[in-house]
Amino acid sequence: MSNLKNLSELYKANKLQLGYIDVYEKYFDNIKDKELKILEIGIDKGPSLKVWSEYFKNSKIVGLDIKPVKLDIKNVELFFGDQTDTKFLSKIVNKYKYFDIIIDDGSHISKHIIKSFNFLFDYLSDGGMYFVEDLHYSYYPRYGGSRLNLNKNGTSMNFLKSLADSLNYENFDRPFYKKNKFNGKINNINFYQNICVVSKNPSKIYLYKEKPKASIFEKIKKLISRLF
């Protein structure tokens, strides 16, 4: 049995009821037999880890949760700690070096999602995919969101939406622009209902080549030109 829907039904993984399995099948069907490294944040009692274990038979899977749980699942290693603790996360990436798939189904708190993403993105392989589940929590005040102010700073949704600018960074023609760590490293971002996937790959330079660092005089000229 390798079909994701069948496996999700077998192990009672709620990703099926939430509609995420349809999304995952689009991305995983062609790579399920590869030797991958997969990290899932938030494992509960392990239903999704059981799904991944059977679906990605040739892969190494890491499960991370803040609450210890006893599980013995083939090709799965468990770590227990805080997803925002970079020292703890460093122990994992020091062992595995990189991951091809990262799934955040952890606390759902916006600041936790953002901190984990900022740290783990560096350890996502080129061609790798980073999934963030349950984005409806982004609108709950107790999770750092707002039902009224959809542009509230610091929500997981607005953080992910801001990454879209990194797709187009070569078009940034702003005075004193400072490139961030994501620019040129994301080649697509896809939003589905309550789930998002960020795909890492060097973006292509279609319109502009990288230029030498501009002098302060050139920056001032560019700033002044914006006023006319």
Catalytic (active-site) positions: 108
Q: Are 77 and 100 in contact (CB under 8 A)?
A: no
Alpha-carbon distance 135 to 211, whole Å?
A: 37
Alpha-carbon distance 203 to 215, whole Å?
A: 26
- 3-state secondary structure at position 198: strand
Alpha-carbon distance 96 to 77, whole Å?
A: 11
Q: Which H/E stretch holds residue 132?
A: strand 124-133
Alpha-carbon distance 148 to 152, whole Å?
A: 9
The H-assigned helical ranges of the chain are: 4-11, 20-28, 47-55, 86-96, 110-120, 156-162, 164-167, 216-225
In eight-state DSSP terms, residue 31 is T
User: Letter for the amino acid at 94?
Assistant: N
